[in-house]
Structure 1
Amino acid sequence: MSDPSDPERNRLSGRIARTAKVGANLSGAGLTFAAQSIFGGDKGDEKIAKAMAAALGKSKGPLMKVAQMVSTVPDLLPPEYAAEFAKLQAEAPAMGWPFVKRRMRAELGPDWEAKFASFGREAAHAASLGQVHDAVLHDGRRVAAKLQYPEMSSAVESDIGQLRTLLGLFKRLDGSIDADEMVEEITDRLREELDYERELKHMILYRDMLSDRPFITCPEPVEDLSTARLITMTWLEGERLLAFESAPQETRNRIAEMLFWTWWAPMNSYAVIHGDPHLGNYQVTGGGQGINLLDFGCVRIFPPAFVAGVVDLYRAMLHDDFDAAYAAYEAWGFQNLSRDLVEVLNVWARFIYGPIIDDRVRSVADGVKPSEYGRREAFRVRQLLKEKGPVKIPREFVFMDRAAIGLGAAYLRLGAEINFHRLFEESLEGFSVETVAARQSAALAKAGLA
């Protein structure tokens, strides 16, 4: 007879139970979809979106986080879906102190409390995959102990199957996007987010890549108090980005410039991006003089040639060079391209690249209402892809697009007015695939990621 306390058995039973629960939730959404397909009616997409959002809201955990993730890519979901999924909150109730003690003992041993001068019993922050505790080391350093919830690996694996079902429904509903590669990309990144040893290395990588930007601060990991499911790092204090929405224009512009370098410097010099530019992952320090960058679970390391494609497409858009744009999409991995399909892709590219093509001081939206920003282009792209597509999204494109939209959202909230073109050109000084490859290789080796 199997031991009911066996952790492998518990993980398997947890996965089965979760699959059944989430599957039941999604089956209700599936029935709604089937009914709408048969009977039609007004506001069909809106009803389906509400049903699916309700199903995901009941499931909690990683799948809900993925739903939020895909909702940030305007060209993937119809507006009804994006609006409903954006309402989901990737929050989870914090584990109680008895549970925390057991989990910390499993990670650091029975004497774990003696390794801290103090350790907060209440979670300072709780999210979808884990929670953070405020603690102090014996040398006086204040630290954040990020502890992963139990059974997250089982939850992620069962949720991945449900994600395939979810995006399969999107494909049937819309038909303009082939999301197969997108599923694989999100799957890989979600699994990586559970590997706290890798996240610690990402933190080291970012501290190195941004070391010449003194206005950016990344936490410092405490490696001897970190494991595959626990990261201990220096505690960073700062104000929320949204606290500066009404700050003087000059302050908001300064914050926007710092955000630009936080994201684009690693991208154009090392082919690395922070794939989760959520507003909560930035803090502002010194009243607008510095930025804290937080949470390194979702980091995408690209082949250097991919960044060359990003730069080539920028230059193609800048000079209205169709052939160069075609070659850039090929370099990115878009398949079965045709002239018509490239023309459709260019609609979205001109929107994404618009601020950095325009050599003048401007806002990101440039006169368009923030709530409407990108919707017209996304709708037009989807309609054209229904005629010319579908387009198969290459996996490298997924987080590039998502991160660009997330960064743009921060600029919109700040109402920043800067010359994005000149900043981007400055970020390309000395750019070549060979230089990026050499820098990336050295940085990954230093962080233990090679």
Structure 2
Amino acid sequence: MSTRDDERNRFGARAARYARVGANLGGVAARMASGRVLGRDDTTNAAALAQALGGLKGPIMKVAQLLATIPEAVPPEYAAELQKLQSEAPPMGAAFVRRRMQSELGAGWRARFGDFDLNPAAAASLGQVHKATTTDGLPVACKLQYPDMQSAVEADLRQLSFVFALHRRMDPAIDTTEIAKEIGERVREELDYEREAKHARLYAHALAGVPEVRVPDVHESLSTRRLLTLTWLEGRKILDFKDDPVEIRNRLAIAMFKAWWHPFNSAAMIHGDPHLGNYTVFSEGGEPAGINLLDYGCIRIFHPRFVGGVVDLYHGLRENDRERTVHAYETWGFKRLNRELIDILNIWARFIYGPLLEDRVRTIADGVKPGEYGRRQAFEVHKALKEKGPVTVPREFVFMDRAAIGLGAVYLHLRAELNYHRLFEEEIAQFDLDRLAQRQSEALAAAGLPAMA
């Protein structure tokens, strides 16, 4: 096929996607607008939006679930409905998988594996995973992207901007402009499996001294921009252990804490997709021992000064140092701050930092269900901002916030009882911004990623 034919096909696929997604969302937009005029309940409109998206597959489902897990990205009624959506797409059939593998590795692709299961082990919004072995028998996971995902992503992100614009018009307390940009950039990055391979190497470097967390090796010769082959890590689902003795649940929660906070404090990066399917539990000697970290598509790398802001806010809240608290918000990029806005932001900050501030063994949040974690505080912030806002949420803050909420939900599932304060103090002991910048630079270079500007 010529380049021109390929471009024409991509344009056609994108145009068809625009029409399909746009028609579904357009009808909901009309209902939302008329509902606002007539005073109808937003819950009905939220259900209509979820129903419209539920008939679509691919990136729009990932975007919808992202929206549901980012506090204040959409109203609470919409977040609740979007959380019900499932991101799984119908898997590619065996014949289709053969064609896709041939397009990535060439006509002799099959000879480069020992075994290759044409039935997927998992199917998600952007691709599916196949279990295979190398020619020397090593189990591997082959993550194969669905065809023409770039066109689908661009079409769906265009419609996402429409949803955000509608939200801003109806409820201007939160300016979601930067949230939309951040989601777009992260979803586009997830299409680049060569970048994801570098992310996996980056995490292997950052977690090399943390035995409680395992990172798969990248098989370069069996990977391309749309095919990623990683070592298969055996493990069980985290929720399989939610009724185990508290010692085991706490052990897994500590491993999760280290999997998240250690890369952040040592290389200024986070795993931004807290979906439970991205973690499994490995055992040693018949006992659950730690966490397998499986997916590296949604990784957020920060400038080291952002981590400095996190540490400053922690100390500012703990020591009631308002000047240091304000400095943290300014470091993150919050603008036009005044006393009232700072007090509002502190509602959320004290919720997120609450478990870290108290030097005692506790649950992450008593009496709260995983799906409700952070909802009440987000509502309080939103209500206050309606009177004192608006506020623009900085881009860097978006996935940090989302990942913290997701991590808290894991602790709720496990019903962990830990001294989170001492775990955090151990991570930030002897924190130094220059030292962090040097360690991050070394980690990025080892992974083949450019240094931060």
Partner of 2:405: 405
Partner of 1:19 in structure 2?
Answer: 18
Q: Determine the C-alpha separation between the residues in 2 that align with 1:358 and 1:18.
A: 50
Corresponding letter in the other structure for 1:28: G
Q: Deviations over 1:90-119 (max 9, x none)?
A: 110111111111111111011001111111
The whole-number CA distance in structure 1 between the counterparts of 2:296 and 2:375 is 30
Aligned residue number for residue 145 of structure 1: 142
Residue type of the alignment partner of 1:54:
Q
For 2:348, the equivalent position in structure 1 comes to 348
CA contact (8 A) 1:362 1:418 kept: yes
Quick one: percent identity of the two aligned structures? Answer: 57
The more displaced of 372-381 and 127-136 is: 372-381
Distance in 2 of aligned mates of 1:4 and 1:441? 38
Residue from 168, 184, 204 that aligns with 1:171:
168
Residue 63, structure 1, aligned to residue 60, structure 2? yes
Q: After superposing the two structures, state which structure 1 stretch, 232-241 or 372-381, moved more.
A: 372-381
Contact 2:212 2:255 in 1 (8 A): yes
Does the Cα contact within 8 Å between 2:341 and 2:389 map onto a contact in 1? yes
| Structure-2 residue corresponding to 1:28 | 27
- 2:433 matches 1:442: no
Tell me which residue corresponds to 1:234. 231
Letter of the 1:24 partner, please give it.
Answer: A
Aligned to 1:245: 242
Q: Where in structure 2 are there 5+ consecutive unaligned residues?
A: none
2:289 and 2:120 map into 1 onto residues whose CA distance is 29
Q: Superposition RMSD on alpha carbons, in Å?
A: 1.4
Q: 1:370 and 1:146 mapped to 2: Cα distance?
A: 29
**Take 1:447 and 1:371, find their aligned partners in 2: how far apart are those partners?**
35
Q: Give, in whole Å, the separation in 2 of the partners of 1:75 and 1:29.
A: 20
User: Normalised by the size of structure 1, how large is the TM-score?
Assistant: 0.97
How big is each residue's C-alpha offset from its partner over 1:139-192, in whole Å with a ceiling of 9 and x where there is no partner?
110111110000100011111111101111222232211011111111111110
Letter in 2 for 1:75: E
Q: How does 1:22-171 map to 2 (within 5 A)?
A: 22-41=21-40, 44-171=41-168
State the partner residue of 2:427: 427
Q: What is the Cα deviation at residue 374 of structure 1? A: 2.4
Structure 1 stretches of 4+ with a deviation exceeding 6 A read 2-5
Quote the Cα distance in structure 2 between the aligned partners of 1:321 and 1:73: 28
Aligned equivalents of 1:101 and 1:445: distance in 2? 35
Is 1:186 aligned to residue 183 of structure 2?
Answer: yes
Cα offset for 1:54? Answer: 1.2
Equivalent runs, 1:252-263 vs 2, <5 Å: 252-263=249-260
What is aligned with 1:357?
A: 357
Pairing of 1:379-390 with structure 2 (within 5 A):
379-390=379-390
> 2: CA distance between counterparts of 1:370 and 1:122?
32
Quote the offset at 1:3 in angstroms.
7.1
Q: Distance in 1 between matches of 2:82 and 2:295?
A: 22
Deviations 1:271-304 (A, max 9, x none): 0111112111110111321110010000010000
Alignment check: 8 A CA contact 1:269 1:436 kept: yes
Please name the residue that 2:294 is paired with: 294
What is the alpha-carbon distance in structure 1 between the residues aligned to residue 2 and residue 262 of structure 2?
A: 52
Unaligned 5+ runs, structure 1: none
Residues 122 and 128, structure 2, Cα contact 8 Å, conserved in 1: yes
Q: Please state how far the C-alpha of 1:72 moved relative to its aligned partner.
A: 1.1
CA distance in 2, matches of 1:284, 1:98: 33
Match of 1:272 among 250, 269, 273: 269
Count of residues paired in the alignment: 447
Distance 1:83 1:434 in 2: 42
SS of the residue aligned with 1:59? coil
2:212 and 2:325 map into 1 onto residues whose CA distance is: 35
Moved more, 357-366 or 56-65: 56-65
- SS of the residue corresponding to residue 46 of structure 2 reads helix
Deviation at 1:372, TM superposition (A): 4.6
CA contact (8 A) 1:352 1:404 kept: yes
Report Cα offsets for 1:184-203 as digits up to 9, x if no partner. 11111111000000000101
How far apart are residue 5 of structure 1 and its match?
Answer: 8.8
Query: How far apart in 1 are the matches of 2:3 and 2:53?
Result: 30
Measured after TM superposition, the shift of residue 71 of structure 1 is 0.8
Secondary structure of the structure 2 residue equivalent to 1:33: helix
Summarize the Cα distance change of 1:420–1:269 in structure 2 as closer, same or farther, 3 Å threshold.
Answer: same
CA offsets per residue over residues 245-285 of structure 1, 9 Å max, x none? 10101110111011000000000111011111211111011
Deviation at 1:388, TM superposition (A): 0.8
- Alignment partners' CA distance in 1, 2:298 and 2:376: 29
Partners of 1:134 and 1:143 within 8 A in 2:
yes
Distance 1:143 1:369, change over 3 A: closer
Q: Tell me the secondary structure at the aligned position of residue 449 of structure 1.
A: coil
Structure 2 residue identity aligned to 1:405? I
SS in 2 for 1:51: helix
For 1:296, what is the secondary structure of its paired residue?
coil
How many Å separate the matches in 1 of 2:135 and 2:142? 14
Are the aligned partners of 1:271 and 1:307 in contact in 2 as well (CA < 8 Å)? yes
